[in-house]
């Protein structure tokens, strides 16, 4: 049985502030269109637009959405390799969920004392240090 893989990104450090489409993103890995090193410390992942489709017109502009990950200097290629390995793995991530970058370090009322707790941010690769931005293009009219 083949299971779809899904990627999760969150740029908010406080779970209580995660309330917009540009704060966190959960999407099928099959929607990735490119992973591009955009600097020695940044990896941009492009994916099919949430709101826009490629239509039938030859002159139509196709808009893609993106996530920018901040990486340790010189670790962008390593991050790309780890993400691709995670997507292609049949043994790892058996539930299909791959947390690529989750910047949250403060939870929202999760303890028995109903208080916020401090946790460690989660990244699929040690070279990733943050989810710098999530860009979702608005719908074309």
CA distance 28 to 47: 10
Which residues form the domain of 40?
6-52+63-135
- Indicate whether 101 pLDDT > 60: yes
Say if 1 falls within a structural domain.
no
- Is there a domain that residue 57 lies in? no
What is the predicted pLDDT for the residue at 74? 94
Determine, yes or no, domain membership for 141.
no
In a domain, 89, yes or no: yes
Q: Would you place residue 140 in the very low, low, confident or very high pLDDT band (cuts 50, 70, 90)?
A: low
Report d(CA 7, CA 87) in Å as an integer: 9
Question: Of 15, 18, 25, 20, which is closest to residue 111 (Cα–Cα)?
Answer: 15
Q: What is the pLDDT of residues 105-131, one digit of tens each?
A: 887 665 555 667 788 999 999 999 999
pTM for the predicted model, two decimal places: 0.83
Per-residue pLDDT tens digits for 41-68? 999 999 988 877 665 555 566 678 999 9
Domain count, the chain: 1
According to the model, what pLDDT value does residue 35 have? Answer: 97
Q: What is the pLDDT of residue 54?
A: 61
Q: What are phi and psi of 35, to 5 degrees?
A: -125, 120
Answer whether residue 13 is part of any domain.
Answer: yes
Q: How many residues does the chain have?
A: 141
pLDDT at 137: 82
């Amino acid at each position: 049985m083949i299971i779809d893989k899904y990627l999760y990104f969150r740029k908010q450090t406080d779970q209580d502030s995660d309330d917009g489409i540009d704060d966190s993103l959960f999407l099928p890995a099959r929607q990735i269109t490119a992973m591009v090193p955009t600097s020695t410390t940044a990896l941009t992942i492009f994916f099919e637009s949430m709101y826009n489709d490629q239509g039938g017109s030859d002159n139509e502009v196709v808009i893609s959405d993106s996530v920018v990950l901040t990486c340790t200097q010189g670790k962008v290629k390593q991050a790309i390799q780890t993400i691709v390995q995670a997507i292609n793995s049949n043994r790892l991530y058996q539930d299909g969920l791959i947390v690529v970058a989750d910047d949250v370090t403060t939870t929202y009322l999760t303890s028995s004392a109903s208080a916020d707790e401090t946790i460690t941010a989660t990244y699929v690769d040690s070279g990733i240090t943050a989810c710098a931005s999530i860009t979702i293009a608005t719908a074309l009219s």
